[in-house]
Amino acid sequence: MSTPVPEVLVAAYETPPEQAALKHQWIHQASWRELVERRGLRVFERGEGIYIYDVHGRRYIDAIAGLLVVNIGHGRAEIAEVAAEQLRKLAYVSAASYTSVPAAELAARIAELTPGDLERVFFCSGGSEAVETAIKIAKQVQLLRGFPKRYKIIARRGGYHGATYGAMSLTSNRAELEPPFGPFMPGVFHIPTVDHYRNDFGLNGPEGDLMAARYLEQEIKFQGPETVAAFIGEPISTAAGCHVPSPEYWHEVRRICDRYGVLLIMDEVINGWGRTGKLFAAEHFGVTPDIMTMAKGLSSGYAPIAAAVARPSVYGEFQQQERRLAHLLTFGGHAVACAIALKNIEIMLRERLVENAAAMGDYLLAGMKRLVETHPSAGDARGKGLMCALDLVKDKDTKERWLKDSPFSIRLGELLHERGVLVRILGDLLLAPPLVITREQVDELLNIVDDSLTQVEHEFAMR
């Protein structure tokens, strides 16, 4: 039986939506103590550009763009109009056997804009579903190619690919997830990832990256190439700390996958749609995956939509052998979500937001590197485009982390919230605002981070 919320605590929140949320909503990741004792509940009402406003009218800089989602910024009336128009015309057709005008148009647009010959689009509703779809495509296509034993997937340590069972199995924080969710999907193996600050091999730059890539070859040989279906990685991993691989890394990974008949899945759920200063992060490296997943920036969060996109070499097997993918998601290719995504892409290209992400990303990262010079807790700053991480350390020599649930990280989060900035601190302080951010707004954000770091370091006797 759950403990009833004491009225005195509910009463501390004044508005009906806050009280309703406190009593009835299961907010995905917020701890009860955070909500109740630290008054961490925030109910938002409206947004505009990089700012969002809570039910008390307090303004916050959304420095993580929702969850690296709202690329075109909040409060776009154009999107509301397109959504209303599509809702009036047609909201839904069966995803099993039919499609709609906006879904067909969006598939064509995605085929046109994704790198290389990626051209066949399977729609779903969120990033985890896109990853599940990619895994199933990879396993089934290996069977169609005549390799029934290729069921294994190799992923990377530090990676995040979602919360549904298959996607969670690829995610590497297993120690946290084993109880209560293990055993996971069988046949998943994790190899070292790109890390330019705490490198697994004690090597920095391209040399360390190449070691990480060659580890893939070793793992494939160790498992037996005839058992491996696919390798999955984010082109630039957010969860693993925004380290930017050298192009040699991805070229080597592509070569190894081709050599052993292993499919390459690039997970662009966060990276895709402009976040890293290119439309897709794969473009930084000149590598085309066999399957690409995408979600968040595809609609900038104005509707839940995602996709797994495949090359003809993958879809062709299903075509030639007259086989269906054993997979169906009721809300895949939802007509309103597709109409919204089309408008979102139009806005992104018209306003040159990808170019802005590249320019403002450089400016933000330069400011974060200055924080590393002046703050004892700022160990390293890195990233690409508007996806940057500040590594929070206890000691710059040992590089020992302030972990996500450490009192230091919690206090820093509180101070940033008090000063009107929404962030996510997972060992690193992640800064990833909407792609519409201006130079002045980057300065505003950096000043608040600077002040908050100064105060928390003072409170923890670091300065």
Ligand X SMILES: Cc1ncc(COP(=O)(O)O)c(C=O)c1O
Which residues are near ligand X by CB under 6 A?
67, 126-128, 131, 160-162, 234, 238, 267, 269-270, 295
Return the number of the residue (28 or 350) whose C-beta is nearest ligand X.
28
Cis, bond preceding 115 (omega within 30 deg of 0): no
CB of 340 to ligand X, least distance (A): 16
Number of residues in the chain: 463
What is the per-residue DSSP string for 105-118?
HHHHHHHHHSSTT-
CB of 430 to ligand X, least distance (A): 11
CB of 161 to ligand X, least distance (A): 5
CB of 24 to ligand X, least distance (A): 22
CB of 168 to ligand X, least distance (A): 10
* SS3 track for 43-106: CEEEEEECEEEECCCCEEEECCHHHHCCCCCECCHHHHHHHHHHHHHCCCCCCCCCCCHHHHHH
Say how many Å lie between the first and final Cα of the chain, rounded: 47
Return the number of the residue (128 or 142) whose C-beta is nearest ligand X.
128
* Position with the least CB separation from ligand X: 127
CB of 241 to ligand X, least distance (A): 13
What is the spatial distance between Cα 305 and Cα 285, in angstroms, rounded to a whole number? Answer: 26
Write out the H or E segment, with its range, that includes residue 152: strand 152-156
Return the number of the residue (162 or 166) whose C-beta is nearest ligand X.
162
Return the number of the residue (131 or 378) whose C-beta is nearest ligand X.
131
Cβ atoms within 10 Å, residue 177: 15
Give CA 389 to chain center in angstroms. 13
Return the number of the residue (36 or 121) whose C-beta is nearest ligand X.
121
Which two three-digit tokens encode residue 301?
């969060």
Residues 6+ apart with CB under 8 A from 396: 376, 379
Return the number of the residue (337 or 378) whose C-beta is nearest ligand X.
337
Return the number of the residue (193 or 238) whose C-beta is nearest ligand X.
238
Tell which residue, 163, 169, 165, 212, has the closest CA to residue 188: 169
CB 37 within 8 A of CB 401: no
CB of 79 to ligand X, least distance (A): 19
CB of 31 to ligand X, least distance (A): 19
Return the number of the residue (164 or 455) whose C-beta is nearest ligand X.
164
